[in-house]
Structure formats: C-alpha cells, structure tokens
Structure 1
Amino acid sequence: MAETLHLNTGVPKYTQISHWLMEMIQKGRYGLHEKLPSESRLSELFRVNRNTVRQAISDLVSKGLIQKRNGVGSFVIARSIPPVKYTLQNISSFTDDMIRMGITPKTKLIRQSVIEVPSEVAEKLMLGKEKWVILTERLRLGNQIPLVIERSYLPHKEYKAILKMRLTGSLYHLLTKKFHVDLHRSIQTFRAIALTGKDGKLLELPPGAPGIFLESIIYDSKNIPVEVLHAFHRGDQYVFEVESGRYRFELESLKRS
C-alpha cells in the first residue's frame, strides 16, 4: 500500500475517501467479510484527521456496503451495484428486473396481515362495501443491499389464499400462476421524498435521506383493480426511465386557446 494517497481540492475529502474505498471493494481488493484498514491507518494514508475517515466510513455504512463492529473495525458486507434502472413502460417484477441486470435478488417479509382498508386505498381498489385488504410489507434487496420497501394492498375477499403462501419471491408470479390474473395495465406515479426514520432504518439510511415514492395501481384485462402498491426506493440506487413518443405540434388547438 502506498505511503500516502493524494486528494483533490474542491471535493469534500470524506467523499473522495468513500469513493476510493468503494472502488477497492468493487474491484475485490477488499473482499466480502474482509476487514478494512483501521481508521488510524486510513487517516495516515490520506493525511486527514480521523473524523474525516469516520465520515467516509459512515457514508459506506449508509450505502449498505460495510458494517461497523464496535471495538473490532469495519467489515465489507456487500459490493456496490450499478444504479437499478426502473422502466415506466411495462408492469415489471422486482425479481425479474434484478435477474435481468445480473443482480442477486432477496426478499425479507416484514409483515403480512389483514387490515381495515385505508380510505385512499379503498377508493383506488374500488372496493365498495368491502372493508378488508391484505397488507404485505416486504424489504427487497439486491446483492445484499436494501433497495426498496414495498407495501402491497390486495382485496382480502379475492386473494385470502395468498396468506398461506410464501412471499419471498415475485408476488406477480403468484398472481398470474396461482390466481390466473391477467396483469393487463397499471397507472404509476412517482415523486421525490425524504425517507422517514422507520423506512430509512429498513433501508440502512439516515432519517431524511432522499428516496423515490412510487404508487402503482394494477388492473386486469377487464379493468378491475387488482393491487395498490406503495414502493419506497433508495434515492441513491435507482434511476427511473420513461420512454416518450414523438413531439406533436397541435397548431389548431393553440390557435383556439
């Protein structure tokens, strides 16, 4: 290892150290479960104080790449992954998206329960007098990095059998194969948010970290609402892609306005 490494001016030092460590992890120089150099060694290497090194380490902890163990040191728990591209074009499965990108998917079931439907969800599912839905809350990970929290609402009367099924894979696979539902179309809206303390903790991010909230309402081929999904994505790991058609200049409508 070199005696000292140069840091550029104009960029926060902790950011440069964080990026250097991330590159070293991504290239396999520091392998999974391997201990990183000590804070004192890194401060000597970059000629910075230990507070700057701690800030860089905390940045990697928030990204889910390393874990700090009190009195022991910092250890690699995951390799960085390229930003996950979410295409707002077709209904997609998280599991399918991860596999397509060469990322290993994993699902942690947080809870699954029958609840009285929130009014805004009841309206979107068009439930009428039906008051109960199945709420399934899951944490979805890629290469061991927590990426998105999903809260899915399904009409209880139609899908109560799902309560006895394993939900560690694709929910959409179950709906199509076990319930023979044609997931025909969806209406998706998204917006930037600041993650709450609870959601940030699940995603291993500090409270107030940037996130992307996505609401998806899925309909079957008969225009019956099937699911309302609320998904909370890490802002530092997702890219949303929208494909648009050609520009159409409506001259006549402009003249009338």
Structure 2
Amino acid sequence: MIDKNSGISYYRQMMEYIRKQVEDGVYKPGDRLPSEKELCAIFHVNRHTVRQAMMGLAGCGLIYIERGKGTFVAGNKPELIDYKVSRRTRFTHNIMEVGLIPGARVLCGMEVAAVERVAGNLRLETGARVVLLEMLRFINQEPFCITTNYFPAHLTPGLLAKIDEISSLYDFLDKHYGLRPTRTYSTFQATFPGPDDAATLEISRNQPLLVVESAMTGEDGTVIQYSVTRFRGDRSKISVGFD
C-alpha cells in the first residue's frame, strides 16, 4: 500500500488510499475507520504519519473525528449550525432564533495586566488592567465554542464578583454597566486545538477549529471588549452579516 520508492510522502499515499476505499464503497458514510494503532500496523508507518493523513482527510471533509469515539467517514456527521456574525451578534439570541437551546459556563475570570496584543486591540497602554473572562458556550447541552473576553477594568468594576449572574453576557453588560457592544471588526483563521481546548470542547486535537477574533465598541466609540472565540469546526458554519 505504501510505495517507499515513489517519492510521494507516506501520509499523502495513505490519504489517497483511504480516499479510494471510500470512493469504492469499502468504507461508507458513517463507517468507523481503523484506530490509529491499527492504521500504523496496516500501512507500516508511525503515529505521526497516521495523524498527518487523518488531519489532511479531515481538512478535506472526507472524515470527521469524535473525541473518545473514533474517526468516521463523513456523510452521517452532525449537522452544521449556521452561526451568524454581525455588528450586533448576541450568542443567546442568535441560537434561540434558530430553535436551539443556548447555554454558557464561565471557565475562569481574573484581572490581569494587558499584554501588547490585548492592549492594542482595546486601545490601552500595555500593562493596563483588564478583566479576562473565559466562557464555554453550549448548544443543546453540547460544547460549541470557547470565548476568551477582555474588558477594560475601569469600565467593568466589580465584574468578577458578579460572575454567577452571567447567562447572557451582553444582557449582563447592559444591565450592570450600560454597555451595548457593537462589533467593529472580526478576523477568521483555521487552526487545530491545544490539549486544553480539545478537552473542554470534547473533540480530538486533529479536529479543526475556526478562530474568530473581534473588537467591540460602545455607543461613544470607546473599545469595550476584545474577544477570541474558538468554534468547533465540525459543528459550525459562520455567516457574516452587514447590518
């Protein structure tokens, strides 16, 4: 199966072989592929090569990976959730509008000194005090995304003492601080999760994430929030609105 004299990298040969087996019906949509250990034995390659091949096939949409369950041929994978990003996106309202059940849990909250990147996005001096609030968001009780939020500490006094009141973040900000964030920009990037994000989102480290980095301003133009959200690539489809 692997031609060591072909000049083609082993992982690409693996990808092509598995792709051909799917095309020929050897593996059908929803079928579980052999485990990483089994693939090492079948192709006589190491784990790194197998992981490269699986990452490539997942990136092409041919397979998907479920943490703790295995790797499956695409076709019967979970339906993608169309998440709309606009100037006034609100997670809770966004999800309820499509008939799903939103949820959230605060993972951590602390006041820290802003590093250069965070300070620049909030238009603060490096080292200025900011509130870091990291939240795990759910859809129908399934982990969907992790958001790391940063707020200027002087605009959100006492926020950390009120963490238990947060269900809808923007409703909370409006109620306690009169802040109504409006998105000014977002950037999008695909990446793979680190061990902590993978464990929290209950996915494999081979499962891609979509990272959305955003800044929000208040009604007077002051930057009041900078956030980095990591969406599960196997569950999300991002639509951008221009309202």
Interval containing the TM-score (normalised by the shorter chain): 0.5 to 0.7
CA contact (8 A) 2:115 2:126 kept: no
Q: Which residue is 1:194 aligned to?
A: 192
1:82 shift after superposition: 3.6
CA contact (8 A) 1:81 1:143 kept: no
The separation in 1 between residues aligned to 2:217 and 2:230, in whole angstroms, is 21
1:106 shift after superposition: 1.6
1:169 shift after superposition: 1.2
Amino acid at match of 1:13: Y
Q: Which residue is 2:230 aligned to?
A: 232
Deviations 1:211-249 (A, max 9, x none): 10001100112211000011000001111113579xxxx
CA contact (8 A) 1:193 1:211 kept: yes
CA contact (8 A) 2:133 2:148 kept: yes
Root-mean-square deviation (Å): 2.9
CA contact (8 A) 1:138 1:151 kept: yes
The reply to whether residue 133 of structure 1 matches residue 147 of structure 2 is no
Counterpart pick for 2:109 among 108, 112, 117 = 112
Q: Which residue is 1:16 aligned to?
A: 30
Amino acid at match of 1:229: S
Counterpart pick for 1:182 among 160, 177, 180 = 180
The reply to whether residue 146 of structure 1 matches residue 160 of structure 2 is no
Query: Looking at both structures, which has the greater relative contact order when contacts are Cα pairs under 8 Å and sequence separation is at least 6?
Result: 2
Q: Rg: which structure is higher?
A: 1
The separation in 2 between residues aligned to 1:87 and 1:205, in whole angstroms, is 22
Amino acid at match of 2:105: K
Alpha carbons of structure 1 residues 129 and 9: separation in structure 2 relative to 1, 3 Å: closer
Deviations 1:102-149 (A, max 9, x none): 111121221111111121010111123762111111111111211100
Q: Which residue is 1:103 aligned to?
A: 100
TM-score (norm 2): 0.67
Q: Which residue is 1:214 aligned to?
A: 212
Q: Which residue is 1:74 aligned to?
A: none
1:171 shift after superposition: 1.1
The reply to whether residue 89 of structure 1 matches residue 86 of structure 2 is yes
Alpha carbons of structure 1 residues 220 and 128: separation in structure 2 relative to 1, 3 Å: same
1:167 shift after superposition: 5.0
The reply to whether residue 124 of structure 1 matches residue 138 of structure 2 is no
Q: Which residue is 1:169 aligned to?
A: 167
Which SS does the other structure have where 1:109 is aligned?
Answer: strand
Quote the sequence identity (%): 22
Task: Give 5+ residue unaligned stretches, structure 2.
Answer: 1-21, 33-63, 70-76
CA contact (8 A) 2:110 2:133 kept: yes
The separation in 2 between residues aligned to 1:107 and 1:194, in whole angstroms, is 22
CA contact (8 A) 1:87 1:241 kept: yes
The separation in 2 between residues aligned to 1:196 and 1:12, in whole angstroms, is 33
Deviations 1:51-108 (A, max 9, x none): xxxxxxxx6743x9x8xxxxxxxxxxxxx86422222333212111121111111212
CA contact (8 A) 1:115 1:135 kept: yes
The separation in 2 between residues aligned to 1:14 and 1:90, in whole angstroms, is 42
TM-score (norm 1): 0.64
Amino acid at match of 1:176: D
Deviations 1:132-178 (A, max 9, x none): 11111111111121110010001112202211212541111111222
Amino acid at match of 2:96: I
1:209 shift after superposition: 1.7
Report the number of matched residues: 186
CA contact (8 A) 1:217 1:229 kept: yes
Alpha carbons of structure 1 residues 231 and 222: separation in structure 2 relative to 1, 3 Å: same
Task: Give 5+ residue unaligned stretches, structure 1.
Answer: 1-7, 19-58, 67-79, 246-257
